[in-house]
Structure 1
Amino acid sequence: MTSQGTRMLARFREAQLPGIARLRALAAADKLPEPLSFPDREGRPAFSRALRAAGSPAVIAEYKRASPSRGVIRLDLSPQDVARMYAQNNAGAISVLTEEAHFQGSLDSLARMAFAGLPLLRKDFLIDPVQVLETAATPASALLLIMRMFEGADQVREMRELAREHGLEAVCEVFDEADLDMARWAGAEIIQVNNRDLDTLETSLDVSRRLVRTRGAGELWISASGLSAPEQVAEMGDLGFDAVLVGTSLMSQADPGAALRALAQVGRDRKAAREAERHARHEAAGRGGGNR
């Protein structure tokens, strides 16, 4: 990564500092919001379980109002509008941009989208354990940890373990092999490959194609950025990805729900075909056993 990508991450980090200072002050005064309780069910909706059940691959649909690379993307849809649209069109989970300075996001969007019943991923540039505690006070099921925002795996592990203590799953985002090594040293179970080059802001699915070759047993893999077409979703499924995260291409559509439905159907059809194949093999094995 060259100085341009480094500077961009530094800007993202700097934008986090006032919020962290505010949260630390609340914690020192014992006024930090309490972790959210779920008296009517067994905790938060399980993020990884929902993805494995939704499709092969599942689609994580993102609520994204703006970005540094695109500027304003879509401001006319409320969080509730988008959550309803995504839930009705087979999203496996919803990713929610909560970063304010560069993405025009809001932490409040998590609470406004929870009614849809889908697991929510808090997508932000989190760097401090107090932000995990902040997330635990929301309806989020998972949070994003970007490896390049941390100096070492020990910091990531601390954040990931704290998240687990509060019923949150940690999605560890990587851009290359070095990031992937850090994520694994930190004990990552969910790996998200970002296909965007931070220096040029261009995307290439070659990043996902390359990194997924090293997928480990038991890991859940997500491909993110640069995905917009059903054939791309199918390819990621063929390569071994459990899910794809799609944001800009959905939010840019006149009808994001219809666009999502087309992408999600790929994974649903593939999952149904695999289940039918397994059933056929089971039936064939049963007939064979009965003939002996």
Structure 2
Amino acid sequence: RLIQESIERGETPFFVNATAGTTVLVGLTHLYCSRKGLINRSVDLEPQGAFDPIRALSAVAKNYNCWLHVDGSWGGTVAFSENVMKEKDWLDGSELADTFTMNPHKLLGVPLQCSLLLTPHSGHHLFSTTNSLHASYLFHGNPHDLGDGTMGCGRRPDAAKLFLGWKWYGRAGYGARVDHALAAATELTDLVRTKAEDGKGFELVVDPTPFLQVCFWFIPPALRAKMGEKRVKAGEVYVETVSRITKVIHAKVNESGEFLIEYAPLSGIPCFFRVVLNAPTVQKGHLERLVERIEEVGNRIEWAKEELGI
């Protein structure tokens, strides 16, 4: 539809960008707002998760002669997990992409920086033809010199870092890292869901967690009744107040030195805790303690002294 609208405006659409592993959330804002009663209209929108349907997008791109790029910077390296490739359709159709980006320095823990741009079109020659300035004072026709095929010809050899890690850990080692991260995300999601079901003030932004980012809110018992009234009476006030609660707890938890966590904003909904699971050293006990710590900090804060507007 968007491509057709672009053509009707006299434009020439040429590029379709698909995402393989979003870093926050996708397609959730209107769904959340509708579910919480923050907007007074129905919406036909479901959680899209972390991965776009590459195969379907490829068909659209080819139909309109558009270049299909897949941004797998965060999630593309799940390809190392045999379990993911067998059980999930996250990268289905990725072989149809014109270009595919992945950053092993993210999910695989390869030292910064290590970014790959892959293509099935003539391999390195595509990039050489597109990016080369033919600087004769540097390059003299040596086919093994890859510097002329990148926009930053003097950059460090990123691929060598992945090569060495791959040789050391093997596909099985990298795959185990991915599997461990996914299992940890499921464990944390389960912990937060259990707290929510027990009426402890926790709430998942989306359930189940679509990838490795577990996103949730925590509203302390002392504020819960008041916040329930704000949710009904004034959507914008509710969003601002819960965002403030999240930020205050976030700061206190980080100041304690026990954990270093993050929160994230998303248009139309309150800021939420965003815990990204990746490190292979993280175990279930760490996750249990994190949830306990957030609850402890939230319950100990003297909220009457905070400017919450309630």
TM-score bracket for the superposition, by shorter chain length: under 0.3
Instruction: Report 1 or 2 for greater relative contact order, CA contacts < 8 Å, sequence distance ≥ 6.
Output: 1
Using structure 1 for the length normalisation, give the TM-score: 0.26
Q: Which structure would you say has the larger Rg?
A: 2
